[in-house]
Amino acid sequence: MAGVDAGSAVAAGPHPAIDDFLAHLEVERRASAHTLDAYRRDLQALAHWAEGQGGSGLLELQSLQLRAFVADEHRRGLSPKSLQRRLSGCRSFYQWQLKHGRIAANPATGVRAPKASRKLPQVLDADEAVALVEVPTDAPLGLRDRALLELFYSSGLRLAELRNLRWRELDLADGLVTVTGKGNKQRSVPVGSHACRALAAWRADTGAAADAPVFPGRGGGPISARAVQLRLRLLAQRQGLFKRVHPHLLRHSFASHMLESSGDLRGVQELLGHADIATTQIYTHLDFQHLAKVYDAAHPRAKRRAKE
C-alpha cells in the first residue's frame, strides 16, 4: 500500500509493515490521530522487543513469542488493562497481514493478557441518595431538577435513556416508563411514587405535548449529556454532597440498593437492561462489601487484635 504524505498522522518509520497497517487505518478506516498514535506505540513496542530477541521480524513472530512479549511487558510494570489494549492492537495488525497473504496465521489469536481486577463502582448510601434528590422545587428549574433526579434514582436509567425520553413513553398513572436501551432494545421499568409526583408537577408546569422530550434542551430537542452532567455536579454540591456525583452514580446506587433490599439478581438485571448477568454481578460484590463492613463493625470477634 502506498505511503501517506508528510502531513499525515502516520509518521514514516523503520517498519514498513506497521506503516502500511497504519495507512490502512487512516485512509480506509478513518481512524483518529489519537487511535493511530496508540496503535503505533503498541506495535513499535512489539517490534523493539522482537529486535532484542535476536532480530526476529514482526511477520515472523509466533504465538509463543507473543506470550513471552506479554509476560515481559507485565514484569516491566505494564497494567493488565494496558496489556489488553496492546494485544488488541496486535491482533488487528496481524489479522490485516493475514488478509493480505503476508503471514500464514495470526500469532496473536489465543494470546491473553493477565486478568485485570475489576474496580467496584462507587455508590451513594440511601441517606445520601435521598438528600440529593430532594432539591427545592421553588428554585429556578427546581421542578425539572427534582423530576430528573427522582427518575434517575427511581428507575436506574442510563443517561442516554433519560435524555431521549418522551412524555408518551411515561405512564404516570401506572408508574411505568418504557425506554430504548443498548442494542435498540426496549424495556419497561417501574417509576416510584415520588418520581411520578415530581414528573406530574414538571409536566403541569411546562404543558408539554405527548411527543415532546421530558427534559428538553435550549433548542427544544433533548437536553445534552453535558448539561445533565454539569447540573448533577452543581446540585450535589448545593445539597451538601461532595462525592463525584454523575449520572451513572445514580444508576449504580439504584442497582446496589435494589439488590441489597431484594437479593434478586435476575430482577435487577431486567431493570437495568443488562444483556449479560455477569455485568449485573458486580453489584453482588458491592452488597457483600457492605455486609462485610457491617459484620466488622458489629461482631464482637470480628476485629483483629492490634499487634503488640
Active site residues: 158, 182, 248, 251, 274, 283
> CB within 8 A of 139, min separation 6: which ones?
145
Helices (H), 156-192: 159-163
Give dist(CA 117, CA 81) in Å, integer: 9
Is the four-CA dihedral 49, 110, 96, 25 of positive or negative sign? Answer: negative
Is the four-CA dihedral 141, 147, 148, 150 of positive or negative sign? Answer: positive
Cell numbers standing for residue 185: 432494545
Residue 189: which of 200, 203, 175, 202 has the closest Cα? 175
CB 102 within 8 A of CB 59: yes
Cβ atoms within 10 Å of 174's Cβ, excluding its own: 10
Residues in a beta bridge with 177: 170, 189
Three-class DSSP category at 305? coil
CB 98 within 8 A of CB 220: no
Q: DSSP string spanning 67-120?
A: HHHHHHHHHTT--HHHHHHHHHHHHHHHHHHHHTTS-SS-TTTT--PPPPPPPP
Q: Which helix (H) or strand (E) holds 22?
A: helix 16-27
First to last CA, the chain: 71
Residue 280: which of 270, 291, 290 has the closest Cα? 270
Distance of CA 75 to the CA centre of its chain: 28
